[in-house]
């Protein structure tokens, strides 16, 4: 799973490393993101602008936004089986920029956070889905979820799932109109030897 991630670089560097467009002034960098918070999302492969979305997918048919708290992750293996994710997988795929994510490991009765990032410490993008929702009063909400897959060998020591990190070759292909089988082939664990982990102490 992925319940917390971060962007520990400045907006200008993020734009350069990921070849992005403009970045919403509402986004706060150098911080952690968690379900229910505003997260960076790219939904347009042409402009590549980074917008602010609610983390937790809220389907158009939902009665209220509370459902999003349970839908901050989507399992890659069942995207086409779940009504909540199927349409988004077919029509509303997105990228979620990040520089690292956390997993917790129980050590001597304490949950210790571990921070995963790329060895080159560059920014990367999670594979995501997005949705549009509006309540009876006309209030609009754009939301997103991060897709997860089976963990690679590095992450497996801490959790059996990990967020799907798209490599540079597949990053923008994920946003294009491509066969389902090809899109599904992108949703694999990232290479262990290209990642690193660091144990942290957090309050």
Each domain of the chain, given as residue ranges in start order, spans 5-199
pLDDT confidence tier of residue 193, bands split at 50, 70 and 90 = very high
Q: CA-to-CA distance for 27 and 39, rounded, in angstroms? A: 7
Helix residue spans in 71-141 (DSSP H): 83-91
Strand partners, 178: none
Alpha carbon separation from 21 to 49, 52, 166 (Å, rounded): 4, 14, 18
Model pLDDT for residues 62-93, shown as the tens digit of each residue: 988 989 989 999 999 999 999 999 999 999 99
What average pLDDT does range 104-112 have in this prediction? 85
Cβ–Cβ under 8 Å, residues 6 and 31: yes
* Whole-structure pTM value: 0.95
CATH architecture of structural domain 5-199: Alpha-Beta Complex (3.90)
Q: Report the catalytic residues.
A: 2, 103
At residue 2, does pLDDT exceed 90? no
pLDDT confidence tier of residue 35, bands split at 50, 70 and 90 = very high
Residue 31 is predicted with a pLDDT of: 80
């Amino acid at each position: 799973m992925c319940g917390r991630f971060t962007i520990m670089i400045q907006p200008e560097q993020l734009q350069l490393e990921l070849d992005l467009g403009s970045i919403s002034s509402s986004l706060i960098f150098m911080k952690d993101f968690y379900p229910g918070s505003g997260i960076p999302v790219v939904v347009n492969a042409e402009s590549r602008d980074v917008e602010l979305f609610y983390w937790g997918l809220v389907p158009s048919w939902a009665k209220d936004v509370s459902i999003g708290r349970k839908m901050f992750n989507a399992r890659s293996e069942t995207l086409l089986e779940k009504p909540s994710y199927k349409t988004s997988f077919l029509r509303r795929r997105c990228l979620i920029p990040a520089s690292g994510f956390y997993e917790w490991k129980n050590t001597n009765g304490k949950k210790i956070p571990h921070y995963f990032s790329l060895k080159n410490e560059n920014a990367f993008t999670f594979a995501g889905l997005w949705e549009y929702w509006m309540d009876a009063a006309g209030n609009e909400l754009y939301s997103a979820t991060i897709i997860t897959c089976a963990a690679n060998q590095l992450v497996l020591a801490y959790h059996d799932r990990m967020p799907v990190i798209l490599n540079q070759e597949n990053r923008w292909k994920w946003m294009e109109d491509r066969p389902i089988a090809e899109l599904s082939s992108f949703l694999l664990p990232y290479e262990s030897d290209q990642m690193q982990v660091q144990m942290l102490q957090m309050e």
